[in-house]
Amino acid sequence: MPATILIVDDEAANRELLEEVLMNRGYTVLAAKDGLEALETFAIHRPDVVLLDVMMPHLGGIQVCKQLKQNAETRLTPVVLVTALSALDDRVRGLEAGADDFLTKPIDRSELLTRVRALLSLKAFTDDLDNIESVLFTLARSIEGKDSYTGGHCDRLSDYSERLGRRIGLREEEIKALRQGGIVHDVGKVAVPDAILLKPGKLTPDEWKVMREHPVTGERICAPMRLFRPVLPIIRHHHEKLDGSGYPDGLKGAEIPLLARIMTLADVYDAVTTDRPYHTALPAGEALEMMERDVQRGWWDRELFAEFKSIMSVKGRIDS
Ligand SMILES: [Fe+2]
């Protein structure tokens, strides 16, 4: 299937020129005359590359670019901003808005085609990465979906752990790993039979043994994917306890990777504040008191918990 290029320019002559060059090369071309129309056309047709004029009525190119780049579903589509030669300011603002490339007016045909080709191969590559991620996320969510009690658990974990990560000043890559970890941390439960996973009563020792394998299974599922490498320690170690009584490796204290310690707090908090087959939900305040006792017992990281508590206490007050 030929690649689809969306041309956005308020001047018909400019649109027609670009259209002609690209259609001659076999691309499918869509056109929009302003930013609003561009977003509508984008939503319907999902083009592979967007060529955006900067100066347009209604919604300018920089704003359109920003909107596309801020949305997780559209951020990987390459955007080229078309600027006037003298408009250095536009380039700076374009970079800030996340533009992938720039073309200068008047547009040189061969430069246009070279850029479009390069961006299309980048798009093909990121589509592959996106597909891997979405397959894994779908798998993780289907496991969450098996259990009506845990609806929304993955998203809440991503949210709680991201907030704690930001609070303690982690880098963007670490925040990203936490967000992904929130979704896929329990993906290894795919190997746990439903009779155990959904059992309403207490698990027998043998059943526990099977259940406790899920972090290692999850790590094994994600390990071949380079993209998920930073998430592996979260998946493997999200059930460790500081005193070494957790699983699968019985790690102690700082041996437990920081991101896993964060995910554990988020996971425990969410488990006690939502209804489960074996208990009813505790209000935020009581859940935090219970976790405080577990900190005294030597299970959770004291300093991290103090930060977590201050984030959740504020939220709890607003919620109640
Ligand atoms: Fe787990």
pLDDT in tens, 130-149: 778 888 888 888 887 776 56
Is the confidence at residue 60, as pLDDT, over 50?
A: yes
CA of 41 to the centre of ligand 1 (A): 42
Binning pLDDT at 50, 70 and 90, where does residue 73 land? confident
CA of 126 to the centre of ligand 1 (A): 29
Task: Provide the token pair at 118.
Answer: 């390069």
How many other C-beta atoms can be found within 10 angstroms of the C-beta atom of residue 245?
A: 12
Residues 156-175 have a mean pLDDT of: 95
pLDDT: which is higher, 130 or 53: 53
Is the confidence at residue 316, as pLDDT, over 50?
A: no
Task: Report which of 183, 177, 145, 161 is spatially closest to residue 264, judged by C-alpha positions.
Answer: 161
Is the backbone peptide bond immediately before 215 cis, with ω within 30 degrees of 0? no
Given 66, 189, 241, 309, which residue is catalytic? 189
Question: 3-state class of 76 per DSSP?
Answer: coil
Q: How far apart are CA 31 and CA 316, in angstroms?
A: 49
CA of 281 to the centre of ligand 1 (A): 18
Q: How close are the terminal C-alpha atoms of the chain, in Å?
A: 53
Task: Provide the token pair at 157.
Answer: 């974990």
Q: Is 189 a catalytic residue?
A: yes
pTM above 0.85, yes or no: no
pLDDT in tens, 185-242: 999 998 888 889 888 888 999 999 999 999 999 999 998 888 889 999 999 999 999 9
CA of 212 to the centre of ligand 1 (A): 8
